[in-house]
Amino acid sequence: MALLPILRYPNPRLNRVASPVSIVDEAVRKLAANMLETMYAAPGVGLAATQVDVHRRLIVMDISEDHSCPMIFINPDILNREGECEDEEGCLSVPGIREKVRRSATIKVAALNLSGKRMELEAEGLLAVCIQHEIDHLDGHLFVEYLSPLKQTRIKNKFLKQSREK
């Protein structure tokens, strides 16, 4: 397995919409394994293929504290949303920034697993937030887009300044 480089905001490649995975093969399974390793090393609880500059609809996550519950969603699609919650979110592509974001409180998601079989899952709490956050990446959106224009500008300027200083 290998660690993959994570794109950092405001890299325009983070805004590309990911294409569906047409076949779940060994290359997809290897990508998922590398993404999990990268996410754990970062450290984080979720990672979308878009964040590692692979524009395919694949997300990985593990919200357990001991990394004992990895989850992989291929071509995820939210079937149902209910309620509303607001919680602080962060992102491996926007390191060091945590802001409150409003999302659906519970969701039902359908996806393929690593065997290529369809699965459905109802999620709430951190898992629901994480799934929504990662699917946003596949759709070319980052959590900072939910913030006020002023906050978005401040965050973007901070990261542009950091990239100029490197």
Catalytic residues: 134
Residue 100, strand partner residues: 88
Kindly report the number of other CB atoms within 10 A of residue 5's CB atom.
9
Q: Could you give the CA distance from residue 3 to residue 155 in angstroms, rounded to a whole number?
A: 26
Q: Is the CB of residue 138 less than 8 Å from the CB of residue 18?
A: yes
* Residues near 61 by beta carbon (within 8 Å), at least 6 away in sequence: 39, 45, 46, 47, 70, 71, 73, 127, 130, 131, 134
Kindly report the number of other CB atoms within 10 A of residue 30's CB atom.
12
* Tokens standing for residue 150: 């002023």
Q: Could you give the CA distance from residue 28 to residue 21 in angstroms, rounded to a whole number?
A: 8
